Chain A
Amino acid sequence: MLFKISWRNIWRSRTRSAVVISSIAVGVWALSFVLSFSNGLIYTFIQNAIRDQYSHIQIHHPKFPEDKNNKHYIENADSILSSIKQIPEIEAATSRVITTGMLSTSHGARGVQVMGVRAKSESSVTKFNQKIVEGSYFIAGKKNQIIISRRLAEKLKVKLRSRMVLTFQDTKGEITAAAFRIGGLYSSGNMIIDESLVYVNDKDLAKSIIIVESNNNNLDVAHEFAIYLKDSDNTALIKDKLKKQYPELLIEDYYDLSPDVELYETQINTSNSIIIIIFMLALIFGIINTMLMAVLERYRELGMLMAIGMNKAKIFFMIVLETFLLSAVAAPIGLGIGILTVYLLQDKGIDLSAFSKGLERFGMETTIYPAMDIELYVQISIAVFITALLASIYPARKAVKLQPVEALHKI
């Protein structure tokens, strides 16, 4: 009966209820959109960081990450790589020869990190081949190709097929140099990467820098293995597996490699909570106002209910229930529109290219794909109902404090 009364009471003042329901619904919609947007921003950032830079897992010589000296290489790269690729959870894996060097053209020189990649497996791990915007990706059999970013090409005033000289130290510490010809230009969407990374074939690079004493110039070496998993959730599992398999090597996942990824993940939870609290504060006063009006308007009726024997607990509960029902009508509407909005935008994305310069500088994509998970919808629903309950306390207290004899004679 209380439920029936409360439910019907909501619809007594249709306009007022419609206004408060709309305001809650719009609030919920806005909240779900803002959260899915910030989620998408961070999610895209993390996914891109994994895809482009860190992969899920990387393997190095234990001393390599520390001083980046190219003498800390891993031998027998081919056989390690093929045995890694046997693991069923792994989508793709590749190995790299890495060094730092000086890129010189007739217009100037620039310090860069030189990535010696296996053309085929690199593209399956990082999709690097899709980032080529001019020229072509590595052509099989062609010697000394180099791929640099378009941004860097503009800075160095070079074009496709320009010659450039890379100078670096070999593993003995001797200065050595090799000439390369630009085969393609890439654009990663990340300014930091664009300006600092150049790509060559691993064998071309190994030939110049690796002096293998033990094994008569065998160039079957790597400084880095990058592993991309089919499912991110398996990262810890595969990491452990590889640690057992290669106890002498350093196995790191993307959290180890990039603490900022973890920071972003925690950051997003904090910022979501703050946004939710701000939303609740904005909502709470709107609901209090409406319910207070509903109580004051029904002062005599409430007095009559108390006179005929409805106790204070029931009156209190009735007002709380009315508030709760209002939000129970509004929240699903808001969530529904929110889910629809996210659904419509999650494939198309929101194009922020107008602000792309700033985003690129932070290594972020210019198109954001809003992402929402069930947990967030649950959080929003709980937040709305807690807000409704908190907002109903004051009007409900006001209702039970009335004296029936005064209320009945109020005009």
Chain B
Amino acid sequence: MSIIKANSITKTYNPNTIPVHALRGVNLTINKGEFTAIVGPSGSGKTTLLNIIGGLDRPTSGTIQVDGQNVSELSDNQLIDFRQKKIGFVFQSYNLIPVLTVSENTEFVMLLQKRSKEEREKRVAELLHAVDLNDKKDKRPSQLSGGQQQRVAVARALASKPTFVLADEPTANLDSASASNLLDIMEKLNREEHITFVFSTHDQRVIDRARRVVTLVDGAIDSDVTRD
């Protein structure tokens, strides 16, 4: 079942001065349960594509459908709502709210969704167990290592039970052990709970684990390989 459907996506920056074509007609379908890496060298357009899929940016032309909904038609405020309900984000850095504890960070999106206290507490406990951070739940992000912070980000991204998780270079700032640990957790969640993950990365450690690798070169799909 396809959950993301990108049709002829183009993105041109500075169309009136010196146009930069970040994406040149990308067609991409992502199905439920995928563990997909969008890879490519710097400037290949992978972050742009991820931003467009995530409703953070709008394509210059083409349409993007998530769960059958045309994202391009949404207003700014509808987009915020859409992101809150459908997408879990894991960014490269500046991921967490520094003034909140681990469990408060995890709970945050559910609070925005006005979930009940009971449900929030249950979900936070589940997720912190899944990312193995139960003992750190009252710590602030500044008291955690980079790997631990990214695991909190994964927990937060999953809190609202999104349609899929978008991770923009999640391992870029991590050492090997932390990166491996983070990937283990994400793989496990993907395998056991069928959560869809889409990464943008040029980190070989992520590429090695991905079951589908979409390679972008100069804003167009150069190869799309699915592995078993």
A304/B56 in contact, CB under 8 A: no
Complex CA gap A314/B80 in Å reads 11
How many A residues touch B, CB cutoff 8 Å? 22
Q: Closest Cβ of chain A: how far from B120's Cβ, in Å?
A: 10
Chain-A contact segment, one of B2-10, B66-74, B108-116, B185-193: B108-116
Chain-A contact segment, one of B37-45, B94-102, B144-152: B94-102
Q: Cβ of A236: which chain B residues have Cβ within 8 Å of it?
A: none
Q: Cβ of B95: which chain A residues have Cβ within 8 Å of it?
A: 304
Chain-B contact segment, one of A1-9, A122-130, A248-256: A1-9
Q: Cβ of A12: which chain B residues have Cβ within 8 Å of it?
A: 98-99
Complex CA gap A186/B112 in Å reads 77
The number of chain B residues touching the other chain, given as a range, is 20 to 34
Q: Cβ of A4: which chain B residues have Cβ within 8 Å of it?
A: 99-100, 104
Q: Closest Cβ of chain A: how far from B87's Cβ, in Å?
A: 8
Contact flags A1-44 to B (C-beta < 8 A → 1, else 0): 10011001100100000000000000000000000000000000
B83/A308 in contact, CB under 8 A: yes
Q: How many inter-chain residue pairs (CB < 8 Å) link A and B?
A: 65
Say yes or no: is A408 at the interface (Cβ < 8 Å to chain B): yes
Complex CA gap A35/B77 in Å reads 47
Q: Closest Cβ of chain B: how far from A99's Cβ, in Å?
A: 80
B76-99 contacts to A (CB < 8 Å): 76-77, 80-81, 83-85, 89, 91, 94-95, 97-99
Q: Cβ of B111: which chain A residues have Cβ within 8 Å of it?
A: 1
Q: Closest Cβ of chain B: how far from A150's Cβ, in Å?
A: 70
Say yes or no: is A312 at the interface (Cβ < 8 Å to chain B): yes
Say yes or no: is A382 at the interface (Cβ < 8 Å to chain B): no
Q: A314-B112, A405-B56, A405-B57 are in contact. Are A309 and B83 (CB under 8 A)?
A: yes
Q: Closest Cβ of chain B: how far from A406's Cβ, in Å?
A: 9
Quick one: which of B56, B57, B80, B157 has the most chain A CB within 10 A? B80
Contact flags B43-79 to A (C-beta < 8 A → 1, else 0): 0000100010010110000000000000000001100
Quick one: which of B47, B54, B56, B109 has the most chain A CB within 10 A? B56
Residues of chain A whose beta carbon lies under 8 Å from any beta carbon of chain B: 1, 4-5, 8-9, 12, 300-301, 304-312, 314, 404-405, 408-409
